[in-house]
Chains A and B, each alone.
Chain A
Amino acid sequence: EPEVTQTPSHQVTQMGQEVILRCVPISNHLYFYWYRQILGQKVEFLVSFYNNEISEKSEIFDDQFSVERPDGSNFTLKIRSTKLEDSAMYFCASRTDSEKLFFGSGTQLSVL
């Protein structure tokens, strides 16, 4: 079955450093999302992306965050200057026109 692929599975970074989390959504999907899950807390929506632009973003998704779909296959989340509180599991997800959302296995980001 096709799947959403995320790399790396774990990322350790120093506070203030930039990180890029990478995702390859399922090839015929049109809608792309990033969610995050801080340990012991809810899965939280960060951003949705459709037709090469952000369609919605949450309050969490401030100026330090950006997304790109540079080449029609990758979908990246960049955090410009990481903070301790950015430590979380970040999930990429994609879907077609249907409501069924497919999640990747996540990238565990640890900010030291």
Chain B
Amino acid sequence: TQLLEQSPQFLSIQEGENLTVYCNSSSVFSSLQWYRQEPGEGPVLLVTVVTGGEVKKLKRLTFQFGDARKDSSLHITAAQPGDTGLYLCAGPGSSNTGKLIFGQGTTLQVKP
């Protein structure tokens, strides 16, 4: 069974601090995605990483895919209150239907 475990589950930090969220599995994934979800909304795709060791940047967000394609991280530099939300990692299931398996999410609160 493919599982994705995220840590930490909750993070409360001050504006301007840096943080890292981790997404780990014992299974190899062909790709991993990161989503951000705000209350009352559906998840919104931030990035897809597909190559082991890949690093992608989206403004202050840096995403890394582990060399073995079993883990990924999201690093936010100089967090802002607007970064507050639920961050989800997700990977494709073993079938070819596009089904996604989600981690349990990391709730980030950035205080001004």
Contacting pair A104 B42 (CB below 8 A): yes
Known contacts A41-B104, A43-B88, A99-B33; A105/B42 CB under 8 A: yes
Mark out the residues of chain A between 67 and 95 whose CB falls within 8 Å of any chain B CB in the assembled complex.
Answer: 91, 93, 95
Contacting pair A105 B95 (CB below 8 A): no
Query: What is the total number of residues of chain B having a CB less than 8 Å from a CB of chain A?
Result: 23
Known contacts A33-B98, A56-B97, A99-B98; A91/B103 CB under 8 A: no
Residues of B within 8 A of A (CB): 31, 33, 40-45, 48, 88, 90, 92-93, 95, 97-105
Contacting pair B44 A43 (CB below 8 A): no
Known: A43-B88, A43-B90. 18 other contacts (CB 8 A): A33-B98, A35-B100, A41-B104, A45-B101, A48-B97, A48-B98, A48-B99, A55-B97, A56-B93, A56-B95, A56-B99, A91-B43, A99-B31, A99-B92, A101-B45, A101-B100, A102-B45, A103-B44
